[in-house]
Amino acid sequence: MAELPHIVILGDYERALRRFSHWDKLDQQAKLTIHHEPLQNEALYEAVKDADAIAIVRDRSPFNEAMIARLPKLKFLMFTGERNGTLEAAALVSRNIPMGCTPGGPSKETTAELTWALILSGSKRLIEQNKLIASGGWRDELSVLPMLSGERLGVMGLGAIGSRVARVGNAFGMEVVTWSPRMTPERAASENAKSVSLDELLGTSKIVTMHLVAGPGTKGIISADQLALMRPDALLVNTSRSALINMADLQDALKIGRPGQAAVDVFDIEPLPVNDPLRNTPNLLVTPHLGFIAEPIFETFSKGITETLEAWLNQKPIPHPFNP
């Protein structure tokens, strides 16, 4: 009897994949190994060294050229969503190893929702208000809060997520300004926003929210010099990519009060280490990368993985081939 192909699935941290799809056919046709905790370096290699196929949830497991070169048995690799920032796809292309992906699901909608949850939680000091109630108190001097209506909302990046965030800002009666490396006045006006320079956006906005793709021109775009421009009552929000902000500079900036607050959903290392100072930095609201954590998205991921792997096992066309 022929040995079953070995399929390794990485990054099911939420233990959600088996809940949202039918895995019976895969269980019968392949040896399945599902890893929940994030893996890197040698731990990652040990998990995948005998894999015929690998499926990665998001970009939680980095595969560089050196790692891929150590996997002679690998015949297929796929990931969830439409891009993966930690995969050196060229190394797979050079070996003619096919790749697949899944639809992203409504991640843009959920990320826009979380962005506004962070903006409202920070600006209304909801964490502090809740702690006050839990301690037996009631309103205090921190309960006299400013309004967002009439204030300036600075949106860095006006793509699918940024434009959704901008529309909510308009609905709240905020003045929306925007910047990105390729922003035009016409593009901004199409979302009832005004195109301004990055310095003006940072220096005048009550809320600054980041929705840029992390690339060569945007990595580390917010560091000490940019943070120093921000208003002392400003709130900086990042639900995009951690690489956009120098997090050490942000911690220093919060200590001196420019900006007054920040709210962050993305980090250089995830899960955030238990002893990481970001967990307890004053005036910093942190959430555990919740932007895409929603049932409809994981249903899309789970069904995409099972459909793709079944197609590969049965030598049928891959539903969503990835061609870098």
Which amino acid, residue 136?
G
With a cut of 90, say whether residue 25 has pLDDT above it. yes
Does this model's pTM top 0.85?
Answer: yes
* pLDDT tens digit sequence for 166-203: 999 999 999 999 999 999 999 999 999 999 999 999 99
We find that the CATH architecture of domain 107-286 is: 3-Layer(aba) Sandwich (3.40)
Predicted confidence at residue 203, as pLDDT, reads 98
Topology of domain 6-105+295-313 in CATH is Rossmann fold (3.40.50)
Q: In whole numbers, what is the pLDDT of the chain averaged over residues?
A: 96
Q: Let me know: does 98 contact 122? Beta carbons within 8 Å.
A: no
* pLDDT tens digit sequence for 194-230: 999 999 999 999 999 999 988 888 999 999 999 999 9
Secondary structure of 57-119 in HEC code, one letter for each residue: CCCCCCECHHHHHCCCCCCEEEECCCCCCCECHHHHHCCCCCEEECCCCCHHHHHHHHHHHHH
Predicted confidence at residue 2, as pLDDT, reads 75
Start and end residues for every CATH 3.40.50.720 domain found in the chain: 6-105+295-313, 107-286
DSSP, collapsed to helix, strand or coil, labels residue 42 as helix
Predicted confidence at residue 243, as pLDDT, reads 94
The phi, psi pair for 238, rounded to 5°, reads: -130, 110
DSSP 161-215: HHHHHHHHHHHTTPEEEEE-TT--HHHHHTTT-EE--HHHHHHH-SEEEE----S
- Over residues 146-173, mean pLDDT: 98
* pLDDT tens digit sequence for 55-71: 999 888 999 999 999 99
With a cut of 70, say whether residue 1 has pLDDT above it. no
Helices 107-123 and 126-134, axial angle in degrees (round to 10): 60
- Over residues 233-244, mean pLDDT: 97
